[in-house]
C-alpha cells in the first residue's frame, strides 16, 4: 500500500519570484507577490543598466526550521 510522506508531516513552503533584466545578466530573487506571473514586466528599471525587468520564473522552496538544541 502506498503511503504519502506528506500525510504524516506538513511541509512549509515559501514561494519565490525570479526577476531578470531584458538587457544584461542582472537577476534578483524575491518573495512572491499577488499578481506575479512568468514573463510579466516589472515596474522599475535594472539597477545595473536601466533595462526593463521581467519575471523569469516562480518556484516554491521548503522552509527548514532550525532544530531546537537541548
Domain residue ranges of the chain, discontinuous segments joined by + = 12-62
Q: Which is higher by pLDDT, 65 or 50?
A: 50
Multiple choice CATH, 12-62, 3.40.50.620, 3.40.50.12590, 3.30.1330.30, 3.90.650.10? 3.30.1330.30
Q: How confident is the model at residue 61 (pLDDT cuts 50, 70, 90)?
A: very high
Per-residue cell: 15? 514561494
Residue 53 three-state SS = strand
Task: Residue 16: name the closest of 45, 59, 69, 55 by CA.
Answer: 59
The mean pLDDT of 21-50, rounded to a whole number, is 94
pLDDT at 3 exceeding the cut of 70: no
Q: Would the pLDDT of 69 be above 80? A: no
Amino acid at each position: 500500500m502506498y503511503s504519502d510522506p506528506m500525510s504524516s508531516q506538513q511541509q512549509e513552503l515559501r514561494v519565490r519570484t525570479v526577476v531578470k533584466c531584458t538587457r544584461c545578466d542582472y537577476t534578483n530573487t524575491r518573495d512572491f507577490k499577488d499578481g506575479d506571473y512568468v514573463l510579466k514586466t516589472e515596474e522599475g528599471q535594472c539597477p545595473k543598466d536601466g533595462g526593463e525587468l521581467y519575471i523569469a520564473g516562480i518556484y516554491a522552496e521548503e522552509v527548514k526550521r532550525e532544530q531546537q538544541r537541548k
